[in-house]
Amino acid sequence: MRRFVIGRVRNLLETSRQNHQFKRPLLSSSQSPYRFLSSTTLADSPSSSSSSPSTMAPPVTVDTINPKVLECEYAVRGEIVTLAQNLQQEIQKKPDAHPFEEILYCNIGNPQSLGQQPITFFREVLALCDHPSILDKSETQGLFSADSIERAWQILDQIPGRATGAYSHSQGIKGLRDAIAAGIEARDGFPADPNDIFLTDGASPAVHMMMQLLIRSEKDGILCPIPQYPLYSASIALHGGTLVPYYLDEATGWGLEVSELKKQLETAKSKGITVRALVVINPGNPTGQVLAEENQRGIVEFCKQEGLVLLADEVYQENVYVPEKKFHSFKKVSRSMGYGEKDISLVSFQSVSKGYYGECGKRGGYMEVTGFGADVREQIYKVASVNLCSNISGQILASLVMSPPKVGDESYESYSAERDGILSSLARRAKTLEDAFNKLEGVTCNKAEGAMYLFPRICLPEKAIKAAEAAKTAPDAFYCRRLLTATGIVFVPGSGFGQVPGTWHFRCTILPQEDKIPAIVTRLTEFHQSFMDEYRD
């Protein structure tokens, strides 16, 4: 290994190397030898400290920051949303500032911001774990259900010293991982190992961790669906890799064809890109489709054949709205094909932010990491340990969503009523909005089988496209901006997710409360009518 580390710092390097013995790759000769800068070479080089002029070096500007940060984009909180926040502030100051009373955020999967209530049992347990000293008090019996008190005790007993304010194991509290593994087993009918679980602050940091592990340079590619959830393009950009797109087929309900995967993989290879992983989002975001098991088998086979890591975004696993479709985890599918640890590298992401719970602000989630060697797992653990651990409330909640109340528990009936109420209402909202979109001139919308979104296609008149060009914005962003300023409704333009060129879409969540949906439909329909009247060719 080329390393010009000498003198005082050498010691720092060498001893820590001895401590850890992680295998290091060769650095190319073009890389700087001063990754840890040696200081005693000072004696060999002319000391310029006394002669250096005290001129101020250029401050930090966008021209001098990391270009990967500049590359990265995240449309879900992009320009349209910033405009919406500004409009909201204006309305707060002056209620009649705009032709609408409130901003209707349909841009992001953030259910509780739009009035969805948290599941009572989950919040009871969290509150008790936050303040365990009330567990023994008599008033607590009147305020909390018996099984939430019992569950809180169970969880506390799994935490060394019952200390919910301590850093945990960097993968998360072992007892909580046991509960999650048991939940996965119950869901899939195949074993799950608590040592495969890494608890994280929501799914996003888990995705970043895997990208950080897999991406070495821009020559490493990650196959991602288009349209995609922009976390993936953002994370790949931040880690300096290449997004290798594969297109979902809108004509077949956002179908995922293995032939398309193969075609894009070969194209990437021919450009010198090493494709390392395939991202599949199921149920789909922003597209809402639920994959058929047969389709999933083909995807697993493809990853196995090509030696790709399968990154399975399964955060919407509870959000399936149509009776003809069912969620199957890729772990279950691969195990049912007879493929085990040695056959396929598979990472499944789950989050407390989605499902019927929608606890976005709690930042809980996990990834289940299977089919990697012990030495690679050690590296993943090391990266997790640099951030110490994920937040304990989020960890507790992740265990709760994977082991909710059971039949016979005091909370079971109220819990299942809350859960079913939310899920059936989401299904109704999805259908109402889907129907409304399909009634609009020039708009077609696939069925929302799952997740929290609709991704309708809009055929914009040429005149509108020209007007967007004149306004130096994408046509779909132009439409969304006009919609926002006219109605207060916030959609995200399809260009933030990717779409077949020449087609235009927007993403709309199904999350506004049910009593607001009729007004949204009315306002949208009226706006669309007048927009088309203005720009119809």
| Interacting residues with a copy of itself between 67 and 106 (CB under 8 A) | 67-75, 77-79
From candidates 201, 313, 368, 449, binder to a copy of itself by CB under 8 A: 201
Structure tokens given for 427: 């299904």
- Residue 251 or 407: the one with the smaller Cβ distance to a copy of itself is 251
Residue 453 beta carbon to a copy of itself: minimum distance, rounded to whole angstroms = 15
- Residue 134 or 519: the one with the smaller Cβ distance to a copy of itself is 134
From candidates 97, 186, 376, 459, binder to a copy of itself by CB under 8 A: 376
308 interacts with a copy of itself by CB under 8 A: yes
Give the H or E element holding residue 399.
Answer: helix 392-401
Cα–Cα distance, 197 to 246 (Å, whole number):
29
Whether omega before 283 lies within 30 degrees of 0, making that bond cis, reads yes
- 3-state secondary structure (DSSP) of residue 369: strand
The beta strand positions in 272-328, using DSSP E, are 274-281, 309-313
CB 150 within 8 A of CB 434: no
For helices 146-158 and 174-188, what crossing angle results, to 10°?
120
From candidates 84, 107, 147, 168, binder to a copy of itself by CB under 8 A: 168
Cα–Cα distance, 321 to 179 (Å, whole number):
27
Question: How many residues of this chain interact with a copy of itself, rule: CB under 8 A?
Answer: 175
170 interacts with a copy of itself by CB under 8 A: yes
From candidates 154, 158, 267, 485, binder to a copy of itself by CB under 8 A: 267
From candidates 231, 256, 443, 532, binder to a copy of itself by CB under 8 A: 231
Residue 73 beta carbon to a copy of itself: minimum distance, rounded to whole angstroms = 5
Q: Is 336 left (phi over 0), alpha (psi -120 to 50) or beta?
A: alpha
Q: How far is CA 337 from the centre of its chain?
A: 27
- Residue 345 or 350: the one with the smaller Cβ distance to a copy of itself is 345
From candidates 90, 218, 293, 462, binder to a copy of itself by CB under 8 A: 218
Cα–Cα distance, 488 to 483 (Å, whole number):
7
Amino acid found at 464: A
265 interacts with a copy of itself by CB under 8 A: yes
Write the CA distances from 348 to 227, 364, 397, integer angstroms.
20, 14, 18
Residue 244 beta carbon to a copy of itself: minimum distance, rounded to whole angstroms = 5
Give the H or E element holding residue 54.
Answer: none
408 interacts with a copy of itself by CB under 8 A: no
- 3-state secondary structure (DSSP) of residue 329: coil
Q: Is 289 left (phi over 0), alpha (psi -120 to 50) or beta?
A: beta
Q: Which of residues 27-46 bind a copy of itself (CB under 8 A)?
A: 27, 31-32, 34-39, 41-42, 45-46
- Residue 57 or 407: the one with the smaller Cβ distance to a copy of itself is 57
Cα–Cα distance, 277 to 262 (Å, whole number):
13
The dihedral through the CA atoms of 98, 99, 100, 104 has a sign that is negative
Interaction mask 415-444, a copy of itself, x per CB under 8 A: ------------------------------
CB 282 within 8 A of CB 293: no
The beta strand positions in 326-388, using DSSP E, are 346-351, 365-370
466 interacts with a copy of itself by CB under 8 A: no
Residue 126 beta carbon to a copy of itself: minimum distance, rounded to whole angstroms = 5
56 interacts with a copy of itself by CB under 8 A: yes
323 interacts with a copy of itself by CB under 8 A: no
Rg, the chain, Cα only: 26
Q: Which of residues 147-166 bind a copy of itself (CB under 8 A)?
A: 160-161, 163-166
456 interacts with a copy of itself by CB under 8 A: no
48 interacts with a copy of itself by CB under 8 A: yes
- Residue 18 or 408: the one with the smaller Cβ distance to a copy of itself is 18
From candidates 264, 282, 370, 487, binder to a copy of itself by CB under 8 A: 264
Among the listed ranges 183-191, 280-288, 391-399, 440-448, the one in contact with a copy of itself (CB under 8 A) is 391-399
Residues belonging to the chain: 537
Q: Which of residues 341-370 bind a copy of itself (CB under 8 A)?
A: 345, 353, 358-363
